[in-house]
Structure 1
């Protein structure tokens, strides 16, 4: 449920914008779209380590149960948005941030609870099911968003309410603590520097995607540069603080475990590739492929979700099986093979033409889903099995931080690459195409000079930007009926944008493949894993006195 809400809005955004009567191409409204997508991921990326540490201290089940209650309350308030326009969008953004707080409490502690509850020989399967539930929610959200938004845009938030109410009651009545609480105290300086530093970097990425001055993106904006520099400085200060405090937020000693370090690095690379790929595929389907095949712009969100079903099915089929196999044969081989297959699917997508045959596309995204399933469960099992029991909450939070940060960063990275690919040819192509259909030169130049991000968001939101942009100027009224029908039809804009868009696709899929092969290399370097598990128990808890730590190490030896 927590992961589903991170992706369900991607597909449902067209219905949400229509529902709150927000013009998607009006100046400044791009920011609302970005924050609806990025805000949820940002909060989850920042908070999961903190609430994981709180689970170690005060009880993982207690924090987990509280997360259900917070998540459900925010879902109820999201479904009763009382405003329109910008105020309606701000209501949704604000309560999605609160919803992400509850989601963080669930995500950070679920893997730790399962690791406490299951013996080592069953842990891979248990964590595999948990990881499949999380990432499966992300994939299912793409389909659910299309189906539910076709009925009512509020339904994408209503769907959480009965589930949340039932399982909030169930969790409080059923779950019991099986792990030992660690006690200790909260590392306030570490939490503040980490939260503010990571938030600054992710906020900078969000602003960097918006046009600035005469530039297509905002990476030269002094605000963006200052946020990135300040965020990185705070993260460096965070590392220095963690090396000096007695009860750190993150035990940097965990990174001495090869399985923990390289597993998280591999997970980060795969997460960046996965999140960006989903975003690009949605734009490809909704903005180009579906209109070219006769689907109305208003119906493209529903059909985009349906046509992406092979991706979800591949993941759901491979995830539990790979978790079970990792218990028998180890994590490294399965996770590495999954990363290689993940990269191969990117190379296959890169070779597809814009107007592809669906069955080839379906096979490639199914392979991508299978690859994600092969990688996710063994990688989680390897990471969680490499840490000592008292640190499983914070370790689970760190794993989730890498995953959520990767997803948040992926949208910024892939979108920047896509815009860079479009910027070189789209303005000229759009201007020339409009002038060929009789649009006055000054109007065609004005429309062609719009930032490429506007065209991408128009495609994302199921809007025909040509009709939307030409009507206010009155240019359509001076054209022949045939020219008007051509310009405002389903095929003109997708055909026009296809060439520049394909140039951007080649760049982003090549980058995705490089990330996947980087993840495969990191996965190979994680080691066999069992030795790491044996030594992990000898890492002293940070709150222990030196004498206690030496006594425990002597006893273990």
Structure 2
């Protein structure tokens, strides 16, 4: 890689990039690592079903809500300074997650620590992009960015695989493993990254509060809809209130002299479509880990470690396709890459939706009838995700890289939180209907069905299921969950199909990095 305008030479730049990838990979791994370990965490700490779901989702929500503030902090106080703060904070909050006590304080402790973890990631990520941009010259920046997004994106799939093996030792290790990684990244980045200047500008704290409240209320309303009902006053108030705060944020940003983020970036049609592409891809990419985890353990009867094989199939498809997608992006730009990724992803998730109800096969075999749809779904996301993320940042000509990264990545994380909330609500509703019918046919009650739904949506396991006709009940749970989760994978297929529409609207020219 070439020398930098900042004076950083090739080897130092490579070391800095390696340290940044190591650091940011912690944040992407932690988007998904809790999903596979959720049953163990729930049982060990005595969490409620809502509590374990929030432990998964609050991380995504906090990251999305504070990404814009993180980007602004990086631009004002300097990228290197803020990335070091973010790495250190992520290590500390990971330690706190692993120290969560069992009992009455467990739920509040873990959810709060996960939220702080997400905020730490939001501080780190935009600053890391800023360092990559300042470190590599125009000729080498494209490859550096592509490598950064490809590796950190692939780490999202590594999370559940690693989580399965770490949980076999202790669930706390899925968080504690971040501590030595954070220390290593801290040393490498501190020694290799060049400092960036500090700006004498103010931080728009009002805007930061408005966008955090808006995103938080919208996702809260969506997540609670399955339990409270879509027409409940609480859900409607959260959705309407969240939308109002987001509108107020946009109005405030247009009127203030020094906004938290410059919304004029959306005037670039390519940037807007790239950002929407990341959002819709994340609607599929983040929730798939949660639903595959529950499906593997509930419907297929796999252990947590063996369920990791499902994620390995997704990961392999992602990594292989990512190489081809990055190569095509370098040659012809993001438009065709987005279209091909959308087609592959829609086909893979659609195929998976039709395959999950067939439970009569060797689920522990790596190659079976569900291997190829899972791998194809991963390939669709892998093919396009790095390209659109890189193209969005490349379009920051004349704008702050911290701001542009914060906009695109906050939408990506919001897409994951939004997708998980909506699809969980959809699957829970379908599962409730299916189990009520099955249980009533066996002489059970709707209350029995509700208890079983609570167990499954709390991330699996069969302890506490109604005692009568236990084998029949568990068969109903297995088959009815498989039927319900079809709707989640079908929803992911629709989200990926939207990418094809976005590609058709994408500009044919690709603006190069400044």
TM-score (norm 2): 0.88
Other structure's SS at 1:15 match: helix
1:267 matches 2:278: yes
Counterparts in 2 of 1:508 and 1:14: CA distance versus 1, 3 Å:
closer
Deviations 1:314-361 (CA, angstroms, capped at 9, x unpaired): 222332443243223322212221111000101211221331645221
2:481 matched to which residue of 1?
A: 501
Deviation at 1:451, TM superposition (A): 5.9
Listed as ranges, the matches of 1:192-203 within 5 Å are 192-203=209-220
Whole-angstrom distance in 2 between the partners of 1:263 and 1:203: 26
Alpha carbons of structure 1 residues 219 and 159: separation in structure 2 relative to 1, 3 Å: same
Higher gyration radius (CA): 1
Change (3 A) 1:131 1:453: farther
Alpha-carbon displacement from aligned partner over 1:280-328 (angstroms, at most 9, x marks no partner): 2222111011x2xxx5xxxx22111133211112222332443243223
Q: Which residue, 348, 372, 386 being the options, matches 1:377?
A: 386
Q: CA deviation at 1:95?
A: 1.5
From 504, 519, 542, the equivalent of 2:499 is 519
Please state how far the C-alpha of 1:519 moved relative to its aligned partner.
1.4
1:336/1:397 CA distance change after superposition, 3 Å = same
2:345 pairs with 1:342: yes
* Distance of aligned partners of 1:501 and 1:78 in 2 relative to their CA distance in 1, 3 Å threshold: closer
State the alpha-carbon separation in 2 of the partners of residues 514 and 254 from structure 1. 27
Change in Cα spacing, 1:446 to 1:372, as seen in structure 2 (3 Å) is closer
Deviation (angstroms), 1:134: 2.4
Map 1:7-406 to 2 at 5 A.
Answer: 7-20=32-45, 22=46, 29-81=48-100, 83-177=101-195, 183-209=200-226, 211-212=227-228, 218-289=229-300, 291=301, 295=302, 300-352=303-355, 353-355=357-359, 357=361, 359-388=368-397, 390-406=399-415
* TM-fit CA distance, 1:202: 1.8
Query: In structure 1, what is the Cα distance between the partners aligned to 2:98 and 2:505?
Result: 46
2: CA distance between counterparts of 1:155 and 1:307? Answer: 21
1:361-510 to 2 correspondences below 5 Å: 361-388=370-397, 390-433=399-442, 435=443, 444-445=444-445, 447-450=447-450, 453-457=453-457, 460-461=459-460, 463-465=461-463, 468-470=464-466, 487=470, 492-510=472-490
Contact 2:452/2:465 (CA < 8 Å) preserved in 1? no
> Using a 3 Å threshold, how does the CA distance of structure 1 residues 322 and 120 change in structure 2: closer, same or farther?
farther
Q: Summarize the Cα distance change of 1:237–1:132 in structure 2 as closer, same or farther, 3 Å threshold.
A: same
**TM-score of the superposition, structure 1-length normalised?**
0.82
Structure 1 residues 114-172: Cα deviation after superposition (integer angstroms, max 9, x where no partner):
23333444333222222123222211111111111111111111211111122222222
Q: SS of 1:387's equivalent?
A: coil
- CA distance in structure 1 between the partners assigned to 2:345 and 2:195 by the alignment: 37
Take 1:77 and 1:499, find their aligned partners in 2: how far apart are those partners?
38
Runs of 5+ consecutive residues of structure 1 not aligned to the other structure: 213-217, 436-443, 477-482, 538-557
Deviation per CA, 1:244-288, whole angstroms, max 9, x where unpaired? Answer: 111112212111111100111111111102223222222211101
Deviates more, 1:114-123 or 1:238-247: 114-123
* CA spacing shift, 1:154–1:60, aligned 2, 3 Å: same
